[in-house]
């Protein structure tokens, strides 16, 4: 109860603080550059100056926070990657040599690539199919709300839910896990699903697909509604069936949006951490780069150098996708 009250108090203080900053900064700006009872030339000059400064009153805090929480950690991580476990002694490229000779790194890298292939593709595909189907039924908005609901759950919370679904009890104990209960009902043998090498990665991926399908559905549903009715009507008059209309008329017109959704989920997948930590902690061949970075940085006494070099690899993998996504968005904006 105390934690809830503390969180609520912090939220209220945050909102009041933002409101106070908004009104206070505008009040000070208007006092510094007054526009009342002044000569016309001074009023015009003050208005121009105030209009130039005002946007930075709101951009300023965001830029400072981004600099402190984004750019500084990147620069310091790059620096630490050349130092020893304590971050004090310069070791040159030793951490990079260790990284590319580490079996654990290649296991994590392989698993990340597997996540990259499966999760964005599956989430985007299911989101597109659901968006198309729910636009055709009267209770579509209710269905969309239910499918979008997992987006409101944290990755840890979702992992706890799915841990009950995959739960395994040995011996003659009753299977409380939903998946094993179904298997036993049909006469099969219960399995400890998250300990089965290789396949356990897919069981973890299902959790993220379950969460992100709602995101893909909402974005793609908006894109589908933006397709001109004339193009679909023309296809119907030409004798096209439902599948032909979907794949040859609708999908090409929203391909840019599909690509943006896919790359957005891809960036998220590269940083996946919570699910693996909560479900397996990287055991049974499920290790991923973000969890490996966490292990080296904060566990076993910590090794800042090796943790930082894994973080640099994640950043290098994310940057090209982000650049492509930004260029794609800019191209679409210019096209409009």
- Residue 149 inside a domain? The answer is yes
- Look at residue 333 and tell me whether its pLDDT is greater than 70: no
Task: Say whether both 321 and 215 belong to one domain.
Answer: yes
Tens of pLDDT, residue by residue over 144-175, are 888 888 888 888 888 989 988 888 887 677 77
What is the model's pLDDT at position 17? 86
Q: Which two tokens stand for residue 261?
A: 């959704």
**Average pLDDT, stretch 210-224?**
89
- Residue 89 inside a domain? The answer is no
What is the model's pLDDT at position 282? 83
Domain with 14, as residue range(s), is 2-80
- Residue 126 inside a domain? The answer is yes
- Look at residue 336 and tell me whether its pLDDT is greater than 60: no
Flag the least confident range among 104-108, 165-169, 248-252, 298-302. Answer: 298-302
Q: How many domains does the chain have?
A: 2
Tens of pLDDT, residue by residue over 3-60, are 778 888 888 888 888 888 888 888 888 888 777 777 777 778 878 888 888 888 888 8
Q: Which letter, b or e, does each residue of 255-289 get, where b requires 16 or more Cβ atoms within 10 Å of its Cβ?
A: eebbbbbbbbbbebbbbbbbbbbbbbebebbbbbb
Q: HSE on the CB side for 130, CA within 13 Å?
A: 24
CATH code (residue 176): 1.10.3720.10
**Average pLDDT, stretch 112-117?**
90
Q: Which two tokens stand for residue 297?
A: 């940085």
What is the model's pLDDT at position 119? 92
Q: Which residues pair with 83 in a beta bridge?
A: 90
Task: Say whether both 205 and 265 belong to one domain.
Answer: yes
Confidence category of residue 122, pLDDT binned at 50, 70, 90: very high
Confidence category of residue 332, pLDDT binned at 50, 70, 90: low
What is the model's pLDDT at position 91? 85
What is the model's pLDDT at position 335? 59
Task: Say whether both 177 and 279 belong to one domain.
Answer: yes
Last residue of one domain, picked from the residues 35, 55, 80: 80
Q: How far apart are CA 250 and CA 43, in angstroms?
A: 54
CB 291 within 8 Å of CB 155: no
What is the model's pLDDT at position 42? 76
Confidence category of residue 314, pLDDT binned at 50, 70, 90: confident
- Look at residue 104 and tell me whether its pLDDT is greater than 80: yes
- Residue 87 inside a domain? The answer is no
Which residue spans within the chain are E strands per DSSP? none
Provide the angle, in degrees to the nearest 10, between the axes of the packed helices 199-225 and 155-165: 120
Task: Say whether both 141 and 12 belong to one domain.
Answer: no
Average pLDDT for the chain: 84
What is the model's pLDDT at position 115? 92
- Residue 178 inside a domain? The answer is yes
What is the model's pLDDT at position 202? 92
Last residue of one domain, picked from the residues 23, 47, 80: 80
pLDDT > 90: percent of the chain? 8
Tell the burial category of 251 from Cβ atoms under 10 Å away from its Cβ (0-12, 13-18, 19+).
middle
- Look at residue 325 and tell me whether its pLDDT is greater than 80: no
CB 83 within 8 Å of CB 233: no
Last residue of one domain, picked from the residues 43, 58, 80: 80
Residue 165 φ/ψ, nearest 5 degrees: -65, -40
- Residue 86 inside a domain? The answer is no
Task: Say whether both 155 and 253 belong to one domain.
Answer: yes
């Amino acid at each position: 109860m105390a934690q809830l009250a503390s969180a609520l108090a912090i939220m209220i203080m945050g909102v009041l603080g933002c409101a106070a900053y908004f009104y206070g900064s505008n009040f000070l700006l208007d006092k510094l550059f007054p526009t009342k009872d002044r000569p016309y030339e001074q009023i015009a000059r003050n208005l121009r100056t105030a209009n130039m400064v005002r946007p930075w009153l709101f951009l300023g805090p965001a830029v400072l926070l981004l600099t402190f929480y984004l750019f500084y950690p990147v620069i310091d991580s790059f620096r630490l990657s050349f130092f020893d476990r304590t971050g004090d002694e310069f070791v040159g490229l030793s951490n990079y040599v260790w990284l590319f000779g580490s079996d654990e790194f290649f296991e994590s890298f392989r698993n990340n690539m597997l996540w990259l292939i499966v999760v964005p593709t599956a989430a985007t595909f299911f989101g597109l199919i659901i968006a198309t189907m729910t636009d055709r039924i009267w209770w579509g908005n209710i269905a969309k709300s239910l499918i979008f609901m997992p987006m409101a759950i944290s990755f840890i919370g979702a992992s706890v839910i799915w841990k009950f679904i995959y739960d395994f009890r040995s011996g003659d104990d009753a299977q409380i896990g939903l998946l094993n209960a179904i298997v036993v009902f049909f006469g099969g043998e219960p399995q400890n699903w998250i300990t089965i090498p290789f396949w356990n990665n897919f069981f973890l991926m299902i959790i993220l697909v379950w969460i992100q399908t709602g995101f893909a559905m909402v974005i793609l549903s908006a894109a589908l509604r933006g397709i001109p009715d004339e193009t679909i009507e023309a296809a119907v008059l030409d004798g096209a069936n439902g599948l032909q209309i979907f794949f040859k008329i609708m999908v090409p017109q929203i391909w840019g949006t599909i690509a943006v959704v896919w790359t957005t989920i891809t960036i998220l997948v590269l940083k996946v951490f919570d699910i693996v930590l909560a479900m397996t902690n990287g055991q049974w061949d499920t290790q991923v780069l973000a969890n490996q970075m966490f292990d080296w940085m904060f566990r076993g006494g910590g090794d800042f150098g090796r943790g930082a070099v894994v973080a640099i690899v994640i950043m290098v993998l994310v940057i090209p996708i982000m650049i492509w996504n930004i260029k794609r968005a800019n191209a679409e904006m210019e096209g409009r």
